[in-house]
Every structure is written in structure tokens, then in C-alpha cells.
Amino acid sequence: MLKDIATPNRTKEILKKYGFTFKKSLGQNFLIDTNILHRIVDHAEITEETGAIEIGPGIGALTEQLAKRAKKVLAFEIDQRLLPILADTLSPYSNAKVIHQDVLKADLKGTLEQEFENIEDLMVVANLPYYVTTPILMKLLEEQIPVRGIVVMLQKEVADRIAAKPGTKEYGSLSIAIQYYTEAETVMIVPKTVFNPQPNVDSAVIRLLRRPKPAVEVQDEAFFFQVVRASFGQRRKTILNNLVNNLPNGKQKKADIEQALSTAEIDPKRRGETLSIQEFGKLSDQLLKSFR
């Protein structure tokens, strides 16, 4: 029987057989520790009823572990050089399929509908390419693809920002953007030694469970996110100053902003980083009256 792909020796053998060289620009840091992979798949609660979606299969280390437990795995890989390798390494797994595509350009909804026709439970599981972590997560969430959740490896520093609570220095517009759609939790801190090559930064695995509906109901979603971004414009400034400086025509509308803060019962001297998602929701609905 073949050894798992994610062992230092088997990975070395595969890379050598195909003369593969890593492209740093594509965030290629492959996992070489089966134990870590098992734990990632455990956190995703994959069963034989689950359809798993992977972004960036590399040489198939995680794909293999997903294929062993899921009903089907669909993996998006941008690097053409990996396709013949994956055809080889994944040949024992008839339930694994690789699509050669930049996930950021993919029609995800259409593809998932087609590929997972009779599968209800969908989960994204990936060791993400770090240079595009945030755009990938935002695409998955904003396009509202019908998944139960997302379990991904990423930079620890980004995981800290995503899962941050109000009143901490990590809390910001990324925390709110992600927690608006999901319940976020860091489930593992991962040492550099489990990758080949080792990345320059520390890593973590985060679990995002999709909320049945967003964390707060707002009248205008795009405006809500505009208010959030404006509030974090300069972190050391008060919420009032940030809104005045960063909302369109904020200076002329200072009195309206003060009024909206007062109606939403938010002290204008507070900083954006202390406001909960619910408070941002209340505030954006009040501000909408004068910014519509």
C-alpha cells in the first residue's frame, strides 16, 4: 500500500519524480504532516455524506485525506504544472476531481450546483495560498455559496484578526466582514515545521460556521460595510471623527452624524474598535437616513 502523500519522504519522492519547483508567488507551502491533516479534517466534521471543496490542492496532501472521508472532493488548482502530478497521486481516489482554475475567477455557485447535485452538506477545507487569503474568504462569503462552513489554514496574524472580539487591537473591518456571515473560531495553531518549504509566518486553522442569517439585520448591507470601514479609518481617532472624515460629505453632515450616534446610543468619543456588530448595525441604519 502507498504511504500517505503528506509525509516528508513521499512528498520528496513526488517532487523529485516530476522535477517540481515551488512557486513562491503562488503561496506554495505543502503540508507534510498527516497528523495535522487528520485534525483539520476532524474540525470540518466531514462524513461520507459531505461534499468537500478544496482550494489549492498542491500535490494532493489534503485532498487525499478528504477523499478518504467525504463523498466527493472538488479541488481548484491554478498551477497547470500540478495537474499531471495530481492525476497520479490521486489516482486511487475516484471521488476526487481537480479543476484547473483560479478560484478567484471561478463561477463557484454554478460549478457547485453541477458537481454536488445530490449532496446537501458542503464544506470548504483548504490550506490557503497566503498571498490571497482575504480575497478568497470574501469571495466565498459574499457569493453566499451554500456551504455549512469553511475550515482553512492561514497566517496566524490573519486568523487573529478574523476571530477578534470588540475592544481588542486585532478587531477591525475584517473581523466584522467575516463575523457578519459566520461564527469564527481559531481551532489550531500550527508550527512552521509541518510545511515544505516552511513559510515565513506562523500559521493557524480557523473554523467559520455559516450563520443561518447575518449577525445583524441592516437596511443597506453595502452602506453598513462602508460605515464599518469609515469607522476604522484611523484607529486612534474617535468614531465621530472617523465618520466625519471618511464618509462622503461627512464634514458637511457632522450634525447628522452626531444625531445618528445619539439615537443609536453610542458615545461619540468611543473608538470604532469598541463597537459590536450589532452597534454598527444600529448606527448604519440611523446614518442611512441622512446619507441615502
Which residues is 253 bridged to in the sheet?
none
Cβ–Cβ under 8 Å, residues 57 and 86: yes
| Residue 77 annotated as lining a ligand binding site | yes
Q: How many CB atoms lie within 10 A of CB 69?
A: 17
Is 127 among the annotated ligand-binding positions?
yes
Q: Binding to ligand SAM by residue 102, rule CB under 6 A?
A: yes
Site string for ligand SAM, 68-87 (x = CB under 6 A): --------xxxx--x-----
Q: Is 288 annotated as a binding residue?
A: no
Name the amino acid, one letter, at 53: I
To ligand SAM, the closest distance from the beta carbon of 70 in angstroms equals 15
Among 14, 52, 53, 61, binds ligand SAM (CB under 6 A): 61
Q: What's the min distance (Å) between Cβ of 26 and ligand SAM?
A: 4
Interface with ligand SAM includes 89 (CB under 6 A)?
no
If the CB atoms of residues 26 and 187 are measured against ligand SAM, the closer one turns out to be: 26
Binder among 51, 56, 149, 250 for ligand SAM (CB under 6 A): 56
Q: Which of 10, 14, 20, 28 binds ligand SAM (CB under 6 A)?
A: 28
Cβ atoms of 190 and 204 closer than 8 Å: yes
Note whether 76 and 107 are within 8 A (CB): no
Return the half-sphere exposure (C-beta side, CA atoms, 13 A cut-off) of residue 81: 11
- What is the C-alpha end-to-end distance of the chain, expressed in Å? 65
- Residue number closest to ligand SAM, CB atom: 56
Q: Using the rule CB under 6 A, is 123 a contact of ligand SAM? A: no
Q: Does 56 count as an annotated binding residue? A: yes
| Pairing status of strand 203-210 against strand 149-155 | antiparallel
Selection from 166, 151, 157, 149 nearest residue 239 by Cα: 166
Which of 34, 50, 65, 127 is close enough to bind ligand SAM by CB under 6 A? Answer: 127
Beta carbon of residue 83, minimum distance to ligand SAM (angstroms, whole number) = 11
User: What nine digits make up the cell of 193?
Assistant: 515545521
Q: How many residues bind ligand SAM (CB under 6 A)?
A: 23
Q: Which of residues 128-147 bind ligand SAM (CB under 6 A)?
A: 129, 132
Q: Which of 206, 179, 168 is nearest to 277 (CA)?
A: 179
**In contact, 11 and 32? CB cutoff 8 Å:** yes
Which residue, 44, 95, 93, 99, is CA-closest to 73?
95
User: Given the complex with ligand SAM, which of 132 and 230 has the nearer CB atom?
Assistant: 132
**The three grid cell numbers given for residue 197, joined into one nine-digit string:** 518549504
Binding site for ligand SAM (CB under 6 A): 26-31, 55-58, 61-62, 76-79, 82, 102-104, 127, 129, 132
- Annotated binding-site residues for S-adenosyl-L-methionine read 29, 31, 56, 77, 102, 127
